[in-house]
Structure 1
Amino acid sequence: MLDNLTLDQMRTFVAVVEGGSFRAGAARLSRVQSAISHAIGNLEAELKVPLFTRTGRKPELTAEGQALLADARAILIKVDAMRARARGLGQGLELSLAVAVDPVIPPGILAGALFDLRAEHPSVGVALKTLPMRAALHALINRHCTLAITTDTQRDSLVEAECLGPAQPFVAICAAHHPLATAPAAGWSAVELSDHLQIVVSDPSPMTEGLDFGVLSPGTWRVSDLATKLALIQAGVGWGNLPLWMVDADLARGVLVRVTATAIGAQAETALTAYLLWRIDQPLGPAALHLRERLVVRFGQGV
């Protein structure tokens, strides 16, 4: 019989696993360590299997614990979603809506969806936060926003995701007077590309600490925003990847050119897909739901 299992026991189990120790689990749940140990002991007694080995400095998951961890997480996600849905029943219109947006999202599509939101719900205020890389996801996980719009594919178990559609691609570009502007017939090799300074945007969140994405040159300058990155590339300081919507006019005028390199593909571009994210335990109100609907429509229309 498993009727005596409690959600509290399962939350404690997951907290210990995610924290890495009984002490860390206690800190996460703001409890004393003895209460955590007691809850885990009761859970093991109810399940009749050991969840942790306790011979080392830190408790290690047993094979049984590893198998049951996914079940515990799935149950807690379902319960959180049920509570969120219950809180959302009969919920009134939001006073304001905080939205985190990856700056590579085409601004015309975003502005169009926000225009639609304003027309439908003029009393709702909007706080728009432009956060690059995985900072938008980080803000959502930490409840600093209600919705996040991003092209990042990393996910969290507390986050629901909906594909909005293709966003304009990232393209590798440099100034027309930059040495990379005139490529050999086969394109620049990765070794040749690494001889030139690359301008990259740093992720302000801790979620990619120590990791680099799309960085091919050992020599880099790091900036905090796309506008600064574009200005440095236009000046010929280095090369880099930028969303096509941001550079298509300069490409058409010949101020910028695409970098042709075997390491980044024949078209020197990376396809991007936009996603809308929200927490499963935070119900979406009428304004958030309307914005979600309009984003789907706008991305579908490309405007």
Structure 2
Amino acid sequence: MLDALTLGQIRTFVAIAEAGSFRAGAARLLRAQSAVSHAIATLEAQLGLTLFDRSGHRPTLTPEGCVLLEDARAILLKVDFMRARARGFGEGLELELPLVVDTLFPLPLAAAALRELSQELPAVRVRLSVAPLGAPLAALQERACKLAITVGGDFRDPRIELETLMSLRFVAVVAASHPLGQRAGEREAVRSAELAEHLQIVLEDPSPLSEGRDFGVLSPRTWRVSGQDTKLAFILGGVGWGRLPLWAVERDLAEGRLVRVPATALGEQGETTVLAYLAHRIDDPLGPAARALRENLLRHAGARGR
């Protein structure tokens, strides 16, 4: 009987489990509730077990249903990946290529890859957005872009494949005129308690993916800003301290406008290394332009990392 299982039944099972009710699952699938109920009843009969406990106001997964839900999701991911790959074989050149880049990623490197794309495929328009934290991944989840570059591994989604591009060095910095800047000049480790006495400039996530979470925040006093340029301007202006990618502050450090903060809680001498990833959905095929840009980015990032 297991050979009689259909993808429609499996999709119905997952939709109801995720939506929380047969009615909501039916609405998600654009099917009648009676058809959805029949599909689940048939699936349970074929499996020889009960997937949902229907005794309450809302159906809840049985212990067996919870286990099989993971299997069902895995099956659908594989099927969607196969379909996407098949569609990609015959897909024509994109008219437009949407790309979202993490604000922490070096834009000159992205520009070099995009310049080559423009030379190779001049008819393709590129729509580029730069956004922090969870926004690149959220854009992929919402199908607002084909490719995204994200920094750090804090956000994951089984529908999205991540390919390592390069490692990025992050440093804690402050204006030379700031009290912490003068303290940093003594070349002694700065403790967390001392950092907590000063305002920290922090990037704000426009997506809901980091709701209730902070990354590298050590001070109870924070100002939230929407972009890296604003964060750098505030730090240069002596408003507070913060962490920034080394590529963005090398010149300011070399010319003495900024100094490093040797904060022991943020790595040796206040420096940490974070990976940058190229991301795309496994169920959405990359067209010729997206594949070309992917190759360009991997090549340029690899050359930069050597």
- Report if TM-score (shorter chain) is over 0.5: yes
The answer to whether residue 194 in structure 2 is matched with residue 161 in structure 1 is no
Give the match's secondary structure for 1:105. Answer: coil
- When residues 289 and 62 of structure 1 are mapped into structure 2, their CA distance, relative to the original with a 3 A threshold, is same
> Matched residues in 2 for 1:138 and 1:26: separation?
25
1:1-303 mapped onto 2 (5 Å cutoff): 1-153=1-153, 154-166=155-167, 168-181=168-181, 182-183=183-184, 186-302=188-304
More moved, 14-23 vs 284-293: 14-23
Kept in 1: contact 2:137–2:148 (CA 8 A): yes
> Contact between 1:134 and 1:152, CA under 8 Å: does it hold in 2?
no
- Greater displacement, 50-59 / 261-270: 50-59
Secondary structure in structure 2 of the residue aligned to 1:302: helix
Q: After TM superposition, give the deviation of residue 55 of structure 1 in Å.
A: 3.4
Distance 1:267 1:27, change over 3 A: farther
Q: Following TM superposition, by how much is the alpha carbon of 1:38 offset from its aligned partner in structure 2, in angstroms?
A: 2.8
State the one-letter code of the partner of 2:92: G
Task: Identify which range, 229-238 or 184-193, moves more after superposition.
Answer: 184-193
CA distances 1:30-84 after superposition (whole Å, capped 9, x unpaired): 3444443332222111111111223344433222212212221111111111211
Residues in 2 aligned to 1:22 and 1:244: alpha-carbon distance in whole angstroms: 52
Does structure 1 conserve the Cα–Cα contact (< 8 Å) formed by 2:204 and 2:226?
yes
- Per-residue deviation at 1:129? 0.9
Give, in whole Å, the separation in 2 of the partners of 1:55 and 1:146: 43
Distance across 2 between alignment mates of 1:239 and 1:19: 44
User: Residue type of the partner of 2:112?
Assistant: G
For the residue of structure 1 that corresponds to 2:97, the secondary structure is strand
Q: Distance in 1 between matches of 2:301 and 2:245?
A: 16
CA distance in 1, matches of 2:147, 2:53: 40
Q: Secondary structure at the match of 1:122?
A: coil
CA-atom RMSD in angstroms: 1.7
| Residue 86 of structure 1: how far off its partner (Å) | 2.0
Using the size of structure 2 for normalisation, the TM-score is 0.93
Contact 1:54 1:60 in 2 (8 A): yes
Q: 1:49 to 1:296 in 2, by over 3 A?
A: same
Q: Which runs of 5+ in 2 are unaligned?
A: none
**1:267, distance to aligned residue in structure 2 (A):** 2.4
CA contact (8 A) 2:170 2:271 kept: yes
**Once the 2 structures are TM-superposed, how far is the Cα of residue 106 of structure 1 from its aligned partner?**
1.0
Worse overlay, 143-152 or 20-29: 20-29
CA distance in 2, matches of 1:82, 1:88: 10
- Distance in 2 (CA, whole Å) between partners of 1:214 and 1:18 is 33
Q: CA deviation at 1:196?
A: 0.8
Contact 2:198 2:219 in 1 (8 A): yes
**Distance of 1:278 and 1:113 partners within structure 2:** 17
Q: Distance in 2 between matches of 1:118 and 1:248?
A: 29
TM-score for both structures, normalised by structure 1: 0.94
Number of residue pairs aligned between Structure 1 and Structure 2: 302
Q: Is the 8 A contact 1:194 1:216 kept in 2?
A: yes
Secondary structure of 1:24's aligned partner: helix
